[in-house]
């Protein structure tokens, strides 16, 4: 093996090497457990909470948390634990899809900017700067203004709003990987441009993207809830966390549990996604 | 006698609501303040109703406009707590024997806040303004439908000529939507007049910062209180800041924190909470006119079939919803009319919750099959009820009530689609006949509101584009009864005709009555002398005062 070939091989190994074993912290364990709960609630809500999230029982409205209704009941006597559990699927799907849209668009734009030469780089960068001029949520509101409120629009809106950030990071990552020694080596060895991109550059760019995506799901869930909270996403009486928070806010002074539990789940989901993302990041960095 | 502030305890709520008129039989001054009125001070009012797009209630004519314009505009006549018409800008009036001409004699020495004198020509200009299609009036326009011309008999006497006798004319004229504005002000054009209408009221519009507040200042030369006011001369308060806080929780928090002195559209849970303490008093003033109800669009399927309408009504468990959501602050209605109206007919026999009867009715109407989701289908079409909900015109508790009706109606097989909308989109949905059920408040003084809501003429939009017969009742017998009732002057005969109309409408299952139009004001106990007008229950702060700082 020549020196150059060793360099090129190292590039491939950089992603293949198994991470060094680190001890799992308490926070990570808790985050993992909550993530498992969320996944269970998302895929089989009836296992977690067997009731109907829309079933009303007016005469047992406004019950504080108790042994029968763990999270209490809302203004129509609906069980809040059931609603929060059944809302998980919706929130996670919106979060994941929106992050997928954002990352997908980010990869396309970032790769164009990073790989297709100065003119494209310049154009894409200016375009991203224009998008950056709007705060993300405002950009999402703009999309909703054009396409009308609803769950699908909200998902696309959050996806579009997060895309510029991802595109920036991917571009920077591409440029740094592009000038790495193992890429130089591959170039010198006469590998084609396309082959270098697919075999050497993208794999070394995507690992950090996985971390970004995990972090991003938390943010997307918060934003999607925010849109529903503003009445621009899921409509009541849908069991969606943002919509529930919005409906519960009316009774915040007399029945705190209506708003507290959906809010708690939004926060915990964001925190879980963030700590899992950070844990992944640390492991990749130490690799 | 007039409506008054209640700081009653919960036990009394039911009784008070049960007899809407009972409200009007207590003294005007609230319990907390008492003593000698203090001059000066700024009262801050926070409204939960939509911010008007125009401060002139001639334009369009909705309740948010009436709330604020009661402070700066005045009407020809008013109504006292017993329903009797009393003098206001007109000191007396006469009706011709054939009922086709009315003469109003105006109070002397009244001027608008721009210096224009109140005279017969001014009243004529107002009628012309209301009837001009360019004004886009709906409420005032409909109320003056029978007025064909006006004439200045002398400087202070104005004559209205009618196409047919109108037993509701005086009641109509008490309303803020038919208030008398300065003709000089009207001549400025709609934009300027909308921004700051000029009236004879105890306050005048100083400025309007959109999406925030309207600032009103005292009219120092005020001379024209209605006959049932507590004092004469200028108002006590120096200023009113009229804020818009659409979020009910924030509004109540602002009142608790002392940032505002009065709020409207109080949520049931906050009323219950306020009644436990001493720092906030509760003014309950149900609006006159129609009860709050769900109107079923009888012009298109599925509600063009009376059996389906009855099935929907029988499938809705309204009683439990009212109990859980309104916590004793609202009483179930079984009438087309507000309990404030003496002619209201209550028919509890027609509106009981009976899921079995609903099932039978739908079976007989041919909606026998059910799809996978449990909704009924007929000829491949799902039994869907499009229900646009205006978020500006309903408090959250009411929207929750619709959700509960949606849930109980689902058991019978109705797919009720609730679509929250802002006011503009909601008007559009109604205009396009894109609804099967809708809940639209309609306040009007007197039982003549039945003509507006149920006469087939009400299917045709007013110049503003708004039409009020949302149930699209098109029944020649109802029309004939309404026409007769509007023309008779004999009170007993009139009441009898309105009873017949109501029974026919209620038995036709065009509407599902819910409760009186809720109109709860919460006031800081610092505020003394505030009351609701016995006309359309808007608050007036003419007699109100705050303790010295």
pLDDT range class, residue B1, cuts 50, 70, 90? very low
Which of residues 44 through 63 in chain A touch B, CB cutoff 8 A?
A: 54-56, 58-59, 61-62
Could you give the residue ranges of the DSSP H alpha helices within B418-475?
Answer: 423-431, 449-454
Residue B185 reports pLDDT greater than 50: yes
Find the mean pLDDT for residues B469-473: 95
Residue B28 reports pLDDT greater than 50: no
Eight-class DSSP state of B475 = -
List of chain B residues whose C-beta atoms are within 8 Å of the C-beta of residue A61: 324-325
Residues B385-397: pLDDT tens digits? 999 998 776 778 8
Domain locations along chain B: 40-261+526-540, 287-518
Q: Which CATH number fits domain B287-518: 3.40.50.1000, 3.10.105.10, 3.90.650.10, 3.40.50.300?
A: 3.10.105.10
Query: Which class is domain B40-261+526-540?
Result: alpha beta
Residues B359-373: pLDDT tens digits? 999 999 999 999 999
What is the H or E stretch that residue B476 is in?
Answer: helix B476-487
Q: What does the pLDDT read at residue B34?
A: 59
Q: Nearest Cβ partner of B403 from A237, A249, A254?
A: A237
Span between the terminal Cα atoms of chain B, in Å:
30
Could you give the residue ranges of the DSSP H alpha helices within B9-92?
Answer: 10-18, 63-69
Query: What is the interface size between A and B, counted as CB pairs within 8 Å?
Result: 69
Residue B474 near residue B299 (C-beta atoms within 8 A): yes
Find the mean pLDDT for residues B119-141: 94
Of B70 and B62, more confident: B70
Q: Which domains does chain A have, with CATH numbers?
A: 26-285 (1.10.3720.10)
Q: How far apart are CA B301 and CA B286, in angstroms?
A: 34
% of chain B surpassing 70 pLDDT: 94
Q: What does the pLDDT read at residue A153?
A: 87
Report whether the peptide linkage leading into residue B113 is cis, meaning its omega lies within 30 degrees of zero: no
pTM above 0.90, yes or no: no
Q: Which of A144, A251, A263 to mutate to test the interface with B (most CBs of B within 10 A)?
A: A251
Residue A130 near residue A188 (C-beta atoms within 8 A): no
Q: How far apart are CA A96 and CA B170, in angstroms?
A: 63
Q: What does the pLDDT read at residue B518?
A: 86
Eight-class DSSP state of B332 = B
At residue B390, φ and ψ (nearest 5 deg) are -80, 115
CB contact under 8 A, A58 and B321: yes
CB contact under 8 A, A75 and B317: no
Residue B29 reports pLDDT greater than 80: no
Residues B310-356: pLDDT tens digits? 999 999 999 999 988 998 899 999 999 999 888 999 999 999 999 99
User: How far away is chain B from the Cα of A255, in angstroms, using its nearest Cα?
Assistant: 9
Rg (CA), chain A: 23
CB contact under 8 A, A255 and B269: yes
Q: How far apart are CA A270 and CA A122, in angstroms?
A: 34
Q: What is the 3-state secondary structure (H, E, C) of B335-371?
A: CCECCCCCCCCCCHHHCCCCHHHHHHHHHHCCCCEEC
Q: How far apart are CA B54 and CA B493, in angstroms?
A: 39
> Chunked in runs of 10, what are the mean pLDDT values of chain A (287 residues)?
58 52 82 93 88 89 92 93 92 89 91 86 91 84 85 88 89 86 87 84 80 87 87 83 89 90 94 89 73
Q: Nearest Cβ partner of A253 from B247, B252, B407?
A: B252
Q: How far apart are CA A275 and CA A269, in angstroms?
A: 10
Find the mean pLDDT for residues B418-444: 89
What mean pLDDT value characterizes chain B?
Answer: 90
Residue B241 near residue B44 (C-beta atoms within 8 A): yes
Q: What does the pLDDT read at residue A20?
A: 52
Which of residues 511 through 540 in chain B touch A, CB cutoff 8 A?
A: none
List of chain A residues whose C-beta atoms are within 8 Å of the C-beta of residue B425: none
Could you give the residue ranges of the DSSP H alpha helices within B290-422?
Answer: 306-315, 318-326, 355-364, 396-412
Residue A171 near residue A114 (C-beta atoms within 8 A): yes
CB contact under 8 A, B273 and A254: yes
Q: How far apart are CA B268 and CA B290, in angstroms?
A: 21
Could you give the residue ranges of the DSSP H alpha helices within A2-116?
Answer: 3-16, 26-43, 45-48, 80-115
Q: What does the pLDDT read at residue B246?
A: 87
């Amino acid at each position: 093996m020549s020196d150059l070939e060793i360099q090129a091989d190292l590039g491939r190994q950089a992603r293949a090497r198994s991470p060094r074993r680190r001890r799992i912290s308490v926070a990570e364990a808790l985050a993992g457990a909550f993530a498992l709960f969320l996944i269970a609630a998302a895929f089989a809500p009836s296992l977690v909470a067997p009731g109907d999230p829309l079933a009303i029982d007016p005469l047992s409205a406004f019950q504080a948390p108790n042994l029968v209704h763990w999270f209490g009941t809302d203004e129509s006597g609906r069980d809040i634990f059931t609603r929060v559990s059944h809302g998980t699927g919706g929130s996670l799907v919106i979060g994941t899809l929106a992050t997928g849209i954002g990352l997908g668009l980010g990869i396309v734009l970032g790769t164009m900017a990073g790989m297709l030469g100065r003119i494209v780089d310049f154009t894409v960068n200016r375009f991203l700067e224009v998008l950056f001029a709007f705060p993300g949520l405002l950009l999402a509101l703009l999309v909703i203004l054009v396409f009308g409120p609803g769950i699908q629009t909200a998902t696309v809106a959050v996806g579009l709003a997060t895309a510029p950030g991802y595109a920036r990071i991917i571009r920077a990552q591409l440029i740094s990987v592009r000038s790495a020694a193992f890429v130089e080596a591959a170039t010198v060895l006469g590998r084609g441009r396309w082959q270098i991109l697919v075999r050497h550059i993208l794999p070394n760019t995507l690992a950090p993207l996985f971390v970004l995506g995990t972090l991003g799901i938390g943010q997307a869930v918060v934003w999607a809830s925010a849109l529903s909270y503003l009445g621009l996403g899921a409509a009541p009486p849908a069991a969606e966390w943002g919509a529930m928070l919005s409906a519960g806010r009316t009774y915040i002074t007399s029945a705190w549990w209506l708003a507290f539990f959906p809010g708690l789940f939004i926060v915990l989901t964001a925190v879980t996604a963030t700590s899992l993302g950070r844990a992944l990041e640390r492991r990749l960095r130490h690799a | 006698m007039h409506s008054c502030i209640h700081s009653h305890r919960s036990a009394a709520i039911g009784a008070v609501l049960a007899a809407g008129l009972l409200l009007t039989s207590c003294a005007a001054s609230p319990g907390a303040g008492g003593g000698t009125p203090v001059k000066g001070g700024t009262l801050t009012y926070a409204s939960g109703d939509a911010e008007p797009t125009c401060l002139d209630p001639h334009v369009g004519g909705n309740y948010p406009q009436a709330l604020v314009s009661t402070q700066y505009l005045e009407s020809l006549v008013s109504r006292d707590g017993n329903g009797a018409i009393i003098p206001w800008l007109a000191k007396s009036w006469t009706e011709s024997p054939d009922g086709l001409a009315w003469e109003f004699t105006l109070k002397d020495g009244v001027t608008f806040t721009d210096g224009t004198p109140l005279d017969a020509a001014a009243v004529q200009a107002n009628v012309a303004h209301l009837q001009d299609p360019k004004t886009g009036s709906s409420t005032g326009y409909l109320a003056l439908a029978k007025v064909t011309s006006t004439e200045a008999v002398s400087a202070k006497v104005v004559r209205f000529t009618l196409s047919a006798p109108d037993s509701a004319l005086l009641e109509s004229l008490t309303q803020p939507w038919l208030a008398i504005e300065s003709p000089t002000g009207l001549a400025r054009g709609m934009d300027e007049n909308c921004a700051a209408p000029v009236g004879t009221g105890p306050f005048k519009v100083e400025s309007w910062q959109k999406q925030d507040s309207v600032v009103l200042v005292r009219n120092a030369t005020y001379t024209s209180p209605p006959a049932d006011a507590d004092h004469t001369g200028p108002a006590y308060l120096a200023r009113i800041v009229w804020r818009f806080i659409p979020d009910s929780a924030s509004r109540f928090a602002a009142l608790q924190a002392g940032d505002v002195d009065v709020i409207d559209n109080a949520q049931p849970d906050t009323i219950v909470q306020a009644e436990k303490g001493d720092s906030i008093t509760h003014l309950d003033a149900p609006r006159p006119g129609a009860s709050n109800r769900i109107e079923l669009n009888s012009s298109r399927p599925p509600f063009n079939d009376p059996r389906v309408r009855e099935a929907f009504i029988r499938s809705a468990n309204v009683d439990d919803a009212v109990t859980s959501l309104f916590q004793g602050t609202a009483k179930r209605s079984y009438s087309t009319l507000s309990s404030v109206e003496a002619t209201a007919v209550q028919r509890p026999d027609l509106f009981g919750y009976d899921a079995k009867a609903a099932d039978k009715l739908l079976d007989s109407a041919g909606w026998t099959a059910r799809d996978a989701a449990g909704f009924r289908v007929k000829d491949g079409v799902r039994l869907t009820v499009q229900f646009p909900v205006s978020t500006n015109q309903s408090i959250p508790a009411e929207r929750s009530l619709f959700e509960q009706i949606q849930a109980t109606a689902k058991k019978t097989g109705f797919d009720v689609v609730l679509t929250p909308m802002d006011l503009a989109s909601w008007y559009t949905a109604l205009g396009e006949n894109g609804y099967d059920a809708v809940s639209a408040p309609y306040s009007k003084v007197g039982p003549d509101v039945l003509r507006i809501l149920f006469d087939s003429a009400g299917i045709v939009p007013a110049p503003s584009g708004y039409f009020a017969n949302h149930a699209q009742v098109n029944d020649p017998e109802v029309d004939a009864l309404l026409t007769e009732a509007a023309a008779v002057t004999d009170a007993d005969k009139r009441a009898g005709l309105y009873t017949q109309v109501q029974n026919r409408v209620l038995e036709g299952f065009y509407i599902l009555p819910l409760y009186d139009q809720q109109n709860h004001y919460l006031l800081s106990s610092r505020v003394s002398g505030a009351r609701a007008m016995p006309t359309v229950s808007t608050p007036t702060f003419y007699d109100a005062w705050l303790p010295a700082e």
